A and B are shown apart, each in its own frame.
Chain A
């Protein structure tokens, strides 16, 4: 009998060809996917070429998504995107997504069924942890890891300790997965899960839709986490069946698996939450943030750019106008979400409300383009980071919140709740 293990330990053991692993152990694993984007691929390709092999290990297991600066913002970013495109063509990469098909990578891969439960995925992007919502072990790495991954299909790991977050009860109406993960990060801090795998369970989690779960797993990295895993249940199966490209494997933690820490959270304690500058852990209830005037609202990103996020924002914006002192930028995370916004009439709501709606891109989330902040400006954003200078000037401020709160704030001109609107 192998030792009792957590989901994270089981997935790592399976991919290392071992019956069991334990925290702290250094292992080398076979990977199901290696992901990189237009910022990280150029360095990964440069490193890959140094290894001295001609071909990637498997052109079907490498995923290249130009999303950060595409459609290209300037000549330099066009050169970088071209490196990605040329490499994809030269290597016959099957999972390459050109402008017009692409989306923000962590929204795109689950939507297309590229990643599934039980997968071991590395991505040269820190929010690769998003796929934990599907029951995968996926984690962000750097470009050198990705370059070596292209060549070998393998990576080294230190088996992390796991932390269990049990969320009991039911989130109140208007409280989303985003509020819950902000609440947790506020509770444990930006390094509260450093080097560790976070695992989320409890009836409040199982009651959430896949879109909401992805917002939670997405932000595991904001607590320093290596992964943010939610065990497979009926919601996961319904999401994956008919969508996953490959057969998937369910893993469940053993009842007697050991955790570094176990947190019991009462869902009733979670309220609409906003993270103040300049750390995602600097959280306060939205109700205590009403005096924060804003210049811009951004609704989108790999955290909150999915269909349900768009619907939540639209429900607030319907029949209303964005405050004339505010720019409200809406970015559906993928081409599919964009199309569905058109089909469901959400696009009319956004346009009627005077929102600027963009084709999928990371753009403003990392201060790239499409809504960069000037000195002294404040934004409320559904993204995941509010570090100094994250969305523009080092003298600007970013407040992180859910789509409904961002939309309500856009109308109010200050941070607030949908209930504050008349």
Chain B
């Protein structure tokens, strides 16, 4: 999986209430959720984000609620990858489960600036800041998690397991 896009940079503890406020939780439609993504943190985000863009943030990205609406909104807004120093636990597993690539790389977060162009090779774990030419290596996913991502998310993996069982 390879991505290249413009960076939207945020601080630490970006919580799920600012990623998608509860007042928009009466729907689960990805396109509808995307319209309000990050509105309480950065009201300009939805207007400036382009398909393929990348979010870079400090520690504890996605803390708070378990709402899967948060990674869904980010993905539907066009974001291909989130790079952070660390992720809140539930957001981390939700992202993996729905197939939103996320990477933990403190060094990259420290160096990358808002508006930089960044390319990511998720399989190799490399992050290149095209604007400055710097290269970083992210922590690779353990094999079990790679298996979920490679299956295209937890639902596809489960589906395949059921199919296997039916054949056996």
Tell me, yes or no, whether A148 is within 8 Å of chain B by CB.
yes
A388 interface neighbour in B40, B72, B90, B159, Cβ under 8 Å: B40
Q: Please, which residue of chain B has its CB at the minimum distance from the CB of A223?
A: B63
Tell me, yes or no, whether B5 is within 8 Å of chain A by CB.
no
A51 interface neighbour in B65, B66, B88, B158, Cβ under 8 Å: B158
B-side contacts of A42, CB under 8 Å: 28
Which of these binds chain A: B10-18, B113-121, B127-135? B10-18
A-side contacts of B88, CB under 8 Å: 191, 194, 224
B26 touches A76 (CB 8 A): yes
A43 touches B159 (CB 8 A): no
Query: Interface digits, A40-54 against B, CB 8 Å rule (1 contact, 0 not)?
Result: 101100110011110
B40 touches A26 (CB 8 A): no
Q: Please, which residue of chain B has its CB at the minimum distance from the CB of A225?
A: B89
Q: How many residues of B contact A (CB 8 A)?
A: 44
Tell me, yes or no, whether A80 is within 8 Å of chain B by CB.
yes
B162 touches A144 (CB 8 A): no
- Are A140 and B18 CB-contacts (below 8 A) given A148-B154, A152-B158? no
Q: In the bound complex, how far is the Cα of B41 from the Cα of A394, in angstroms?
A: 9
Q: Which of B1-32 contact A (CB under 8 A)?
A: 13, 15, 17-18, 21-23, 25-28
Tell me, yes or no, whether A67 is within 8 Å of chain B by CB.
no
Q: Please, which residue of chain B has its CB at the minimum distance from the CB of A279?
A: B13
Query: Interface digits, A196-232 against B, CB 8 Å rule (1 contact, 0 not)?
Result: 0000000000000000000000000100101000000
Tell me, yes or no, whether B75 is within 8 Å of chain A by CB.
no
B21 interface neighbour in A40, A142, A191, A367, Cβ under 8 Å: A367
B40 touches A40 (CB 8 A): no
Query: Interface digits, B25-69 against A, CB 8 Å rule (1 contact, 0 not)?
Result: 111100000000000110000000000000000011001111111
Tell me, yes or no, whether A147 is within 8 Å of chain B by CB.
yes
B66 touches A140 (CB 8 A): yes
Q: Which of A364-400 contact B (CB under 8 A)?
A: 366-368, 385, 387-390, 394
Most A CB atoms within 10 A — which of B25, B88, B142?
B25
B155 touches A148 (CB 8 A): yes
B98 interface neighbour in A52, A73, A144, A226, Cβ under 8 Å: A144
21 contacts between A and B (CB under 8 A): A42-B28, A47-B155, A51-B162, A80-B28, A152-B158, A156-B144, A156-B154, A191-B60, A194-B86, A224-B60, A279-B13, A366-B22, A366-B25, A366-B65, A368-B23, A385-B17, A387-B64, A388-B18, A389-B18, A390-B17, A390-B22
Sample of 19 further A-B pairs with CB below 8 A, known A366-B65, A367-B22: A26-B144, A39-B25, A39-B67, A43-B28, A43-B69, A51-B155, A126-B64, A128-B66, A142-B93, A144-B68, A144-B98, A144-B153, A145-B97, A147-B155, A156-B154, A224-B88, A366-B17, A387-B18, A388-B40
B contact residues vs A (CB 8 Å cutoff): 13, 15, 17-18, 21-23, 25-28, 40-41, 59-60, 63-69, 71-72, 86, 88-90, 93-94, 97-98, 142, 144-145, 148, 153-155, 158-159, 161-163
